[in-house]
Amino acid sequence: MAANETDAALDQAVAVLQGGVERPGMEGALRVIETWEQRLAASESPELIPISDNLADLRIQLLAGDSDPAAVGRLLVTLGEQVESVAESDIGAPVADRLSQLSALLTDQGNALANR
């Protein structure tokens, strides 16, 4: 994926999370999740495959319609931790600032859901 495509995709993910994960019309969020899930899986990177797997789990839970907010929250926190780990690695270095922002949003949204 080209650098400007990555930047745009990260911006889109941040925008979705800033809007909150529990709102009507999850279609946009689900598209972002699925796009990242596919991109990370296609990378075949050992650092990125576990994130892709967790995105798949998140997508499945959100599609279920009656997902457990605490379980979704825990998944978001885990994703936040994984994204921060990538931000601190060589593979994430070119977009480390955006990844750190995304990580913080995932963690914040996850904690808000998990602590309900």
pTM for the model stands at: 0.84
Instruction: Read off the pLDDT of residues 17-71 as tens digits, 9 standing for 90 and up.
Output: 766 655 555 777 888 899 999 999 999 999 999 999 999 999 998 888 777 889 9
Of the listed ranges 16-30, 80-94, 99-113, the one predicted with least confidence: 16-30
Which H or E run includes 14? helix 3-18
Q: Which residue has the tokens 């930047």?
A: 7
- Residue 3 pLDDT: 59
- Measured distance CA(71)–CA(43) in Å, rounded: 27
- Residue 81 pLDDT: 97
- Distances 56 to 37, 68, 74, 100, 102 between C-alpha atoms, Å: 6, 16, 14, 21, 18
- Distances 34 to 45, 62, 111 between C-alpha atoms, Å: 17, 12, 22
Q: Which sequence spans correspond to the domains of the chain?
A: 25-114
Instruction: Read off the pLDDT of residues 6-23 as tens digits, 9 standing for 90 and up.
Output: 777 777 777 777 666 555
- Residue 57 pLDDT: 94
Please check whether residue 18 is in contact with residue 105, taking contact to mean a CB–CB distance below 8 angstroms.
Answer: yes
